[in-house]
Amino acid sequence: MSYHHAKGQSYPKVSDAVHSFAKFQMGIVLIRQHFLVSKRLIQHERNVVATRTAGRSGLGLGGCPRVGYFGAVGRVSGWRLSRVPGVRSSHDLTKRGSLSMSSCVALIVAAGSGERFGGEKPKQYLSLAGKPLLRHTIEAFLAHPAVTAVQVVYQPLHRDYYDQAVAGLGLPEPVPGGATRQDSGRLGLERLAEWPGGPPKTVLIHDAARPLVDAGTISRVLAALDHTPAAIAAVPVFDTLKRGEGGLAIGTVDRAGLWQAQTPQAFHFSTILEAHRRLAGAGLTDDASVAERAGLSVALVPGSPDNIKVTTPDDLARAHRLLGPTPTDSRTGLGFDVHRFAEGDQVTLCGVSIPHRHRLEGHSDADVALHALTDAILGAIGAGDIGSHFPPSEPRWRGADSTVFLRHAVELVRARGGVIGHVDVTLICERPKIGPHRAAMVARLADVLGIAEDRVSVKATTTERLGFTGREEGIAAQAVATVALPGSVW
């Protein structure tokens, strides 16, 4: 045990005690997960008698055909892979030998920031059918009887989001990720190498952003390890591929033999760990690339077109559709705002700067249209108003770009698994004239909201020279937003 000295005294180093306690806790977690797996297998034992009879006629559990490697009917090294997702009987397991406590671990890589998705909350923590996307991913592996434990690699800055997403699942302490995807994978493997009881025999490495992975895909990549040191889920490329330059197509790529890589990617643990250590810092984008660079054979195992990676808001919407129809709570919000003119030379409306003989007075950039639209979206989800989220009394919002406020409202909708269906903004003023700038305003709003331009409307009207807008003392704006949330009003 290490020691440090303070005022001439020696004390046990705190980190040693914490490390020992963490290993003890991890051991308890592994025992619990092993017990849960054993319990699931015992529950399936009652089906064995019927299965034996059906098995002689080429059927698996529930009278389904037995599916082997690459979908062929038959057996793979004593395993019987049933079309019933993720189910093997304990009778089948004993043919291969008993499972060690950590024979197969699923390593879920969730350390990304989700920059391509946008928004304040990383995509892996957004809501999908009422629960975080990451939780869907983890539960898919916890439910598979061949997976004895799950370890997550995460970004420590997201700890609060992580704790909420995995509450009650009894997972080991997450592993802090690295600067790149390759670094995060290696750090996760290094943690598994230190597990109590020894490292696993095999490891499944999976992207947290693929929440719709099915049990059949997991089974197929694991079965392939009987014949090769590495195997990945993949789907053949059917679409025509173009090589582009400067926005123009400059050639067609031959798609023959091309596959789109997915996860999970399965490996013999010691082999992939050694490859990662040897190729650390190579900047490779997935673990199969590490295996290939190390000279390992990597089997292509049929994946599923539904095993999508959620990278954009459209991907998240597709994931919602793939999970099946859910009750939808459709809501409408209304926003209204006013700003007076002050001395200046331009105004900002819908995020577009317009030359004018005045500016709009306000604590931020005084974009009256974005303020009204932000309030409309917040109102649709019952989240207060713009002032409660961005108090004008706070100096940090002085001169702020109002798209910050609108993006925050959009993120709140996404965090609840919702989508913005349509927005309609009406500007009320005599000048400046809105018509020449309408297309730019629509494009800007669509970009900030992450929706198509045909779901955005920008209009303008006057008050026939009546009132403060008629006297050209300022500009008013009203906005309507339609939002769909998962759930029902009943």
Question: Looking at this protein, which amino acid is placed at residue 188?
Answer: G
pTM of the model: 0.55
The span from the CA of 458 to the CA of 479, in Å, is: 9
Question: Looking at this protein, which amino acid is placed at residue 304?
Answer: S
- Can you tell me whether residue 298 is helix, strand or coil? strand
The segment(s) of the chain belonging to CATH 3.30.1330.50 are: 328-486
Q: H/E element holding 403? A: helix 403-415
The span from the CA of 159 to the CA of 92, in Å, is: 40
Whether 455 and 446 have beta carbons less than 8 Å apart is answered as yes
Q: What are the tokens at 482? A: 């339609």
- CATH architecture of the domain formed by 328-486: 2-Layer Sandwich (3.30)
CB atoms within 10 A of CB 187: 17
DSSP category for residue 157: G
Count the alpha carbons within 13 Å of 396 in the hemisphere toward its beta carbon: 5
Q: What are the tokens at 345? A: 């030379």
The segment(s) of the chain belonging to CATH 3.90.550.10 are: 12-46+99-237+255-322
Q: Residue-wise pLDDT tens for the chain (490 aa)?
A: 333 333 344 434 434 544 454 455 555 555 555 444 444 444 433 333 233 233 323 323 222 322 333 332 222 222 223 222 333 332 233 223 333 445 899 999 999 886 778 777 899 999 888 789 999 999 999 999 999 999 999 999 999 999 999 999 999 999 999 999 999 999 999 999 999 889 999 999 999 999 999 999 999 999 999 999 999 999 999 999 999 999 999 999 999 999 999 999 999 999 999 999 999 999 999 999 999 999 999 999 999 999 999 998 889 989 988 887 665 788 999 999 999 999 989 999 999 999 998 989 888 899 999 999 999 999 999 999 998 999 888 888 888 899 999 999 998 998 887 889 999 999 999 999 999 999 999 999 999 998 899 999 999 999 999 999 989 999 999 999 999 987 655 4
Q: Which fold has domain 12-46+99-237+255-322?
A: Spore Coat Polysaccharide Biosynthesis Protein SpsA; Chain A (3.90.550)
Whether 225 and 203 have beta carbons less than 8 Å apart is answered as no
Q: What are the tokens at 115? A: 């920059």
The span from the CA of 450 to the CA of 162, in Å, is: 25
Which alpha helices (DSSP H) does 123-173 contain, by range?
Answer: 133-142, 159-166
Which residues does 467 contact at the CB level (< 8 Å), separation at least 6? none
Q: Which of 132, 109, 188 is nearest to 124 (CA)?
A: 132
Q: At what angle do helices 368-380 and 403-415 cross, to 10 degrees?
A: 10
Handedness of CA 86, 90, 93, 99 (dihedral sign): positive
